[in-house]
Amino acid sequence: MESSSATLVTAAGNAVNEAPAQTGGVTKIRVERLGKSFIERRKRPRRAEDPGPGQEVKILDAIDLDIKEGEFIMLVGHSGCGKSTLLNCIAGFERPSSGRVLIDGVPVASPSPKRMFLFQENALFPWLTVAENIEMGIEAAAPEDRKPAEEYLQLVGLEKFGDYYPHQISGGMGRLAELARTLAMNPDVLFMDEPFAALDFMTRCLMREEMLNLMALMRKTILFITHDLDEAVQLADRIVILSDRPARIQRIFELPFPHPRDITAGDIGRIRKQAYLEMGVNPII
């Protein structure tokens, strides 16, 4: 695989131009020279003598990325740069225009129940209770992976709310219930597209704590899109910053620090500042 030209920032704050450095372990996901283009038909010439299908718009351009088993990767970039498109290609919801994605060495051709997706929108079934929603995930799991819904309710701290319907719980509780349903299927990989975006600031902070607890208990490979750099610095093993469209890997920040983290102090604080500056934002206002 050709190496990416991303810039890596070490824990000491030194920047070097090289391929993304990888921690030890087995490569779970490999993205090779992935490109994606769409045909923009709204920009199609309105002339009868030009029968062309429309204008090609390149979204992703030659993305190379290796992700180790059990890594927590945060994808960050400006709105519209192609983060969700990249995630959809890796998950198998969209086919790349060029390049390929391999998971466990097998090319990705379609979605799989071993790779689950959490979207921005609430996806709980409103006619089912919280426990019944989780049971839907349990039924989709392999027989040897099935556990009682009560175990997953306890895992996310909702053991007292199993009989409640989605409209009777808060937005944060709903996100936890969705996460419990997803974990009940025992996936290898979690794809998360800004799952906390609609929550208020305090609830987002609480959700980060829950994510850290779940990471410690159930080490999954996670690709997580966020616009919140503090969230990324607090949670991620690596932050992957995408350039504006057509997106390439602009920079990768490694965060080999234990949790919990003080994101404003020491090496972490320096990397946080560099990440903000990389995004064109001054973190000191």
Q: 138, 157, 186: which is the final residue of a domain?
A: 186
> Model pTM?
0.82
Q: Is residue 49 part of a domain?
A: no
Q: 186, 201, 226: which is the final residue of a domain?
A: 186
Distances (CA, A) of 78 to 40, 248, 261: 21, 12, 25
Per-residue model confidence (pLDDT) at position 120? 77
Whether 138 and 213 share a structural domain = no
Per-residue model confidence (pLDDT) at position 24? 55
Q: Is residue 222 part of a domain?
A: yes
**Domain coverage including residue 259:** 1-38+55-114+188-285
Q: Which of 249, 276, 221 is nearest to 19 (CA)?
A: 249
Whether 231 and 181 share a structural domain = no
The total number of structural domains that make up the chain: 2
Q: Is residue 46 part of a domain?
A: no
Contacts of 260 (CB under 8 A, 6+ apart): 212
CATH number at residue 271: 3.40.50.300
Calpha distance 283→276 (Å, rounded): 6
Q: Is residue 235 part of a domain?
A: yes
Q: 152, 167, 186: which is the final residue of a domain?
A: 186
Q: For each of the chain's 285 residues, which pLDDT tens digit applies?
A: 433 434 444 333 433 333 333 445 799 999 999 999 987 766 555 565 655 666 778 999 999 999 999 999 999 999 999 999 999 999 999 999 999 999 999 999 999 888 988 877 778 999 999 999 999 888 877 777 778 889 889 888 899 999 999 999 998 899 889 988 988 888 999 999 988 888 888 888 888 888 888 888 778 899 999 999 999 999 999 999 999 989 999 999 999 999 889 999 999 999 999 999 999 988 776
Calpha distance 248→243 (Å, rounded): 5
Q: Is residue 258 part of a domain?
A: yes
Q: Is residue 257 part of a domain?
A: yes
Calpha distance 138→73 (Å, rounded): 26
